[in-house]
Amino acid sequence: MDVINPIVRSWLREGEEDPDRFWAQAAEQLPWFRHWDQVLDWQPPTFRWFVGGQTNLSYNCLDVHVERGWGGHAALIAENERGERRVYTYAQLLYEVKRAAAALRGLGIDKGDRVAIYMPTCPEAIILMLALTRIGAIHLVVFAGFGAGALGDRIRLAAAKAVFAADATWRKGKEVPLKGIVDEALETGGSPVEHVVVLRRSGAEVPLQAGRDLWWEEFLAGGRDQDDGHVVLESNEPAFILATSGTTARPKLAVHTHGGYQVHIHATGDWVFGLKQQDVWWSTSDIGWIVGHSYIVYAPLLAGCTTIAYEGAIDYPDAETPYRIIEQNQVSGIFTSPTAVRLLMRYGLEPTRRHDLGSVERVVCAGEVLNPPAWEWLQKGVFGDRIPVLDHMWQTETSGPMVGNPYGISLLPIKPGSSGIVLPGIQGAVMSPEGEELGPGEKGIFVVKRPFPGLTASLWAEPERYGRDYWQRIPGKLVYFTGDAAAMDEDGYVWFSGRADEIIKIAAHRIGTIEVETAFLRHPAVAEAGVTGRPDEVRGEVISAFVVLRQGSQPSEALKREILETVRRELGPVAVIGELNFVNMLPKTRSGKIMRRVLKAVILAKDPGDISTIEDEGSVEEAREAWQQMQRELAAQPSR
């Protein structure tokens, strides 16, 4: 039986038979100042979409809705872990964006200039993003948890003319100063920065450098006599640049454009998320990541709905925080990460029972694979099978989803653990490292055989690196290399099993980290698991596991044996576990991805390298202590 219904089957066929026409129809759903001359100009490895078309991303997010008479509709609800709340209508948000646009011009910022934003997910940061795209300048948002080294690298690579920073942010009740990090980042010689604008949020004393630094209020005052209008931009002019989420090498700055980016996130906002004007939409991410750009800011505003921006830890001041936000704001759609789901699992279902979640119509997840146990907890435990809980897959480089379940078109059967089907107009496949296209169930690398509008066409200042890193990885094949290991089943559903370089090789078998971690989550006491391969003289590699338990469960040898038995039952004897370490937290990026390379560095007693994206550096030391304690215990055992 074909699980792809006729509506979706016809939709997929349209994207396959004439992708240029398919994407042109998607682009027609948006306003344009001038129609394009050519849908796609592909000069491998780079390309241009909607060539000659004229648009402005910010204008379509705000001005269009106000002109249509929607100015009184709520555009942005900003909340934070300290209980503060601000609401902006479309008309109010447009007013603030125009003020900031004029102030940017007063500061000397013009079309094409790069501006770094080192701020938390607060209204002023979102206003700045929209103001910069309004005037044709290019924003570079740097997550307000990065250290001076990471911030400085990004500023220099982008040659940013100005930096906007908050003096502080808050994380789990702790004030995190930011201005000092900016000063340190700019100490290195050759800094291109001419201005630093500081948003005052705390009462702490903040030193300002004369001639360079000014307060936010002074910045706004400088725009009183300046033009606040939008710039008409060709489709392929950059809207923003953003560092990819990898942390093992010098950052790569993906470039996203006013035209192609806008078309892709607007289309997938409709197809995958079902965004509509009546929605109160909450993406629990941070604006420092591509999710925050696409699905906190731009796609919801293009759709004319209400978007929620939350600053802080999702479980602070208590585990009821997310459910309280849902109830108070009557949230209808949620985008969150599997990491957040597993975090909330640790607190159990009791916090969910104290709030009315009846407004929620759908939940979508991305960031890592939504393991079946986490899906079951959310789908059945929290929402009682009343709504769909969906997974999907994409990257910083792709703007929005490549693989997903088309909720907005026609919901397909959910296969827990799969990210869904390859979306139309995106010619995805699973290939071997040698370039052979693989059949159902065969594991390989997920690739894309043709550009689509949301795909970055370049890396800022590094055009040669773009081709080398993405389009020339498989000899003799011109394909976009995602780096993600996957298999596709007979129905066309894609099953991701982790990064290709994280596959564990045990004897003659290859097993994905996601598969192993999912098996650990099958035990009811396990909230999270991170695994990596450890060298073994006999088998090549064995599995080293780090496990976080749910509240109420305590580490013990008996529990360890139970968990290992669960894994063996799920995966069979091929999954050889070298050791299991209990920890209170896993090393994860602030975007929610488990840093498995850090776990590998711990067990190999190596330097973990760049950990500037890590959520809590204490997680590394805890993992190291757990590993060393296990080694001491093994050494103390009598030899047989």
| Domain spans, the chain | 6-313+392-485, 503-636
DSSP SS3 for 277: coil
- Number of neighbouring beta carbons within 10 Å of residue 168: 21
- Which single residue is written with the structure tokens 């050519």? 38
- What's the rounded Cα separation, in Å, for the pair 322 and 308? 12
* 3-class DSSP string for 525-558: CEEEEEEEEEEECCCEEEEEEEEEECCCCCCCHH
Strongest mean pLDDT among 295-304, 462-471, 604-613: 295-304
According to CATH, what is the number of the domain 6-313+392-485? 3.40.50.12780
570, 523 Cβ separation under 8 angstroms:
no
Average pLDDT over residues 59-71: 98
Q: How far apart are CA 36 and CA 241, in angstroms?
A: 23
* Residues ≥6 apart with Cβ < 8 Å to 28: none
pLDDT of the residue at 156: 93
Confidence of residue 15 (pLDDT cuts 50, 70, 90): very high
pLDDT value at 161 more than 60:
yes
The rounded distance, in Å, linking the Cα atoms of 236 and 102 is: 24
How confident is the model over 424-436, as a mean pLDDT? 95
pLDDT at residue 249 tops 60: no
Quickly state the pLDDT bin for 247 (edges 50, 70, 90).
very low
Q: What is the CA radius of gyration of the chain?
A: 24
- pLDDT range class, residue 511, cuts 50, 70, 90: confident
Cα 85 from Cα 63, distance rounded (Å): 24
pLDDT tens column, 375-405? 999 999 999 999 999 999 999 999 999 999 9
How high is the pLDDT of residue 629?
A: 84
pLDDT-derived band at 30 (thresholds 50, 70, 90) equals very high
Residue 102: how many CB atoms within 10 A of its CB?
Answer: 21
| 618 or 93, higher pLDDT | 93
Q: Which of 264, 238, 254, 256 lies closest to 470 in space, CA to CA?
A: 254
Residue 382 has what pLDDT? Answer: 98
Q: What is the pLDDT of residue 508?
A: 63
Q: How many CB atoms lie within 10 A of CB 583?
A: 20
> What per-residue confidence (pLDDT) applies to 248?
44
Give the pLDDT score at 538.
78
Most confidently modeled of 171-180, 254-263, 555-564?
254-263
CA-to-CA distance for 588 and 339, rounded, in angstroms? 9
Alpha-carbon distances, residue 124 vs 119, 201, 212, 250, 539 (angstroms): 9, 11, 20, 29, 55
Which residue type sits at 227? D
Task: Give every CB contact of residue 11 below 8 A, 6+ residues apart in sequence.
Answer: 406, 409, 424
**Each residue of 325-380: pLDDT tens digit?**
999 999 999 999 998 998 899 999 999 999 999 999 999 999 888 989 999 999 99
Question: Which of the pair, 540 or 266, is modelled with greater confidence?
Answer: 266
* SS3 label, residue 515: helix
pLDDT in tens, 100-141: 999 999 999 999 999 999 999 999 999 999 999 999 999 999
Cα 460 → chain centroid: 19
**In the predicted structure, residue 582 carries a pLDDT above the cut 70:** yes
Which pLDDT score is estimated for 226? 94
DSSP state of 442: -
**Residue 16 confidence class, pLDDT cut points 50, 70, 90:** very high
Q: What is the mean pLDDT of the chain?
A: 93
- Per residue in 600-617, pLDDT (tens digit) is 999 988 888 777 667 778
Higher pLDDT among residues 12 and 568, named by residue: 12
The answer to whether the CB of 363 falls within 8 A of the CB of 378 is: yes
Q: Tell whether the torsion through CA atoms of 164, 166, 167 and 168 is positive or negative.
A: negative
Window from 177-181, 272-276, 297-301 with minimum mean pLDDT:
177-181
Level-2 CATH architecture, domain 503-636: 2-Layer Sandwich (3.30)
Least confident segment among 273-287, 418-432, 518-532 = 518-532
Band of residue 640 on the pLDDT scale cut at 50, 70, 90: very low
Instruction: Give yes or no for a contact between 359 and 328, defined as CB atoms under 8 angstroms apart.
Output: no
